[in-house]
Structure 1
Amino acid sequence: MTMLHPQRWLSSLIMFLLSSFMLKSDGSNHIVGDSSGWELYTNYTNWTQGREFHVGDVLVFNYNRDQHNVMQVNSTAYVDCGRDNYISLFNKGNDSIVISVGSI
């Protein structure tokens, strides 16, 4: 079984989960990566197993802002694993993003 490049894991999770800007919500909070936070070597496919994500849920990204960020990308940027044509860039180190529309 081949493993995806760490950058691909990051893009994968972004495309799978992100579809909105930061908004107020009454949904569940999901701390991405649990105690490890948002970092290169977490298997986010495994992290999503057994979790349900719904419109109104909040994804919380905790990370070292000097080393990481979170990008919302379109499908073309995802397929190309590109970083130039992002929709939104989050870089505070503790970003909360509400899922506002269903995706995938």
Structure 2
Amino acid sequence: MEVFSLKKMLLWLITVVNILWSTAECREPVLHRVGGGKYTWAPNMNFTAWAMHEEFYVGDWLYFGFDKTRYSVLEVNKINYNDCNDKNCMANITRGGRDVFNLTEARPYYFLSGRGYCFKGMKVAVHARYPPPDPAPLAVRNVCPSKSASHGLAMLLALFTSYAVIG
């Protein structure tokens, strides 16, 4: 009886892994040029309108292009964002004026420029989400080339393991 339940459990595990792997989103990260254009981070721009027309997903990148001698890019919390308060920022991502920031979690992110430039419109809020599931049926779905080899190896390993346990 113990071998039979082990077989069932292993087959269930293989099925779950296959379903989870098959429904994983095959989406490449996107580089969003904050505000658009070459110098994307500047005063008197409507970053709220820009952000409303973009879709941000976990894994995407934000690109800030600016004059680093005048402006900065600070990640802040929502309260500091609303108040244009650059004190106690969560992270200063200012490096060389062509800076990128990776959206690693599904959550809202808040950025502003210090030295009073926030009051001139230099602030942006983006909300990163998980990519939506692929609506294509499993038989029609395209598999990412980067995932297909590792997926095949994982399934082959799972099958060999199941045969070893069952047989």
Q: TM-score, normalised by structure 2?
A: 0.44
Number of equivalences: 79
2:64 corresponding residue in structure 1: 61
Q: TM-score, normalised by structure 1?
A: 0.68
Which residue of 43, 54, 57 corresponds with 1:40?
Answer: 43
Unaligned runs of 5+ in 1: 1-25
Tell me the CA shift for residue 100 of structure 1.
0.7
Larger RCO (CA within 8 A; separation ≥ 6): 1
Which residue of 67, 74, 79 corresponds with 2:77?
Answer: 74
Structure 1 outlier segments of 4+, above 4 Å? none
Which residues in structure 2 correspond to 1:1-104 (within 5 Å)? 26-35=28-37, 36-91=39-94, 92-104=96-108
Deviations 1:66-102 (A, max 9, x none): 1101000123322432111101112220111010111
- 1:31 partner amino acid: R
- 1:60 partner amino acid: Y
Distance in 2 of aligned mates of 1:62 and 1:81: 20
On the 8 A contact 2:57/2:106 being kept in 1, the answer is: yes
Distance in 1 of aligned mates of 2:87 and 2:52: 29
Identity score, percent: 29
Distance in 1 of aligned mates of 2:49 and 2:82: 21
Deviations 1:21-80 (A, max 9, x none): xxxxx5100001111410111101111232100000000000000110100012332243
Distance in 2 of aligned mates of 1:64 and 1:79: 24
CA RMSD of aligned residues (A): 1.5
On the 8 A contact 2:63/2:98 being kept in 1, the answer is: yes
Whose helix fraction is larger, Structure 1's or Structure 2's?
2
Distance in 2 of aligned mates of 1:52 and 1:79: 22
- Which structure has the larger Rg? 2
Distance in 1 of aligned mates of 2:56 and 2:78: 19
